[in-house]
Amino acid sequence: MNEQNPTQSDTKQVFKALRGKKKLMIETLNNHLGMITAACRQVGIHRDTHYAWLKEDPNYKHWAEEAQLNLKDFGETALFKLIKEGNPMAVWNFNKTKNRDRGYGERLEIKHSGSMSPIFSKEERKAEIKRLLGK
């Protein structure tokens, strides 16, 4: 198998290397849109088993991560469908995340170069605080 650029048959071979409950768990994760608890229940394993497999088996980890990417793709596809239908919340959500650089974000990011120095000295700030507090 070519590690740099695996072909479709290579990835099928790697997936075939998963056996038993590990393979079933990956298939179930995909069917449950990446929801780990639901998939574990259906397969009949504890969540700790899933997390142990993630640590111990790089192949299993790869396919579990693929299941999470499939979930993101599913959500993105549904969002784009709603955008095409003109759903205002979908359009707003898309703009605030993907068009943040065009001013649609929820927060303003200010970048500056140079140094920042205080306008008032420490003594002037203390004097102003005393004045404002009436001391």
- pLDDT (0 to 100) of residue 10: 47
Crossing angle between the packed helical segments 20-31 and 36-43, to the nearest 10 degrees: 140
88 in a structural domain? yes
Query: Are the beta carbons of 44 and 37 closer than 8 angstroms?
Result: no
- pLDDT (0 to 100) of residue 12: 52
Q: pLDDT tens across 31-50, in order?
A: 988 889 999 999 999 999 99
41 in a structural domain? yes
Query: Are the beta carbons of 10 and 1 closer than 8 angstroms?
Result: yes
Query: Are the beta carbons of 72 and 79 closer than 8 angstroms?
Result: no
Work out how many domains the chain is built from and give that number.
1
27 in a structural domain? yes
CB neighbours of 90 closer than 8 A, spacing ≥ 6? 79, 82, 83
DSSP type of residue 112: -
- pLDDT (0 to 100) of residue 104: 81
Residue 87: Cβ-neighbour burial (10 angstroms; 0-12, 13-18, 19+): middle
Residue numbers of the domain that contains 58: 8-106
- pLDDT (0 to 100) of residue 7: 47
| 3-state SS string for 52-103 | HHHHHCHHHHHHHHHHHHHHHHHHHHHHHHHHHCCCHHHHHHHHHHHCHHHC
68 in a structural domain? yes
- pLDDT (0 to 100) of residue 13: 52
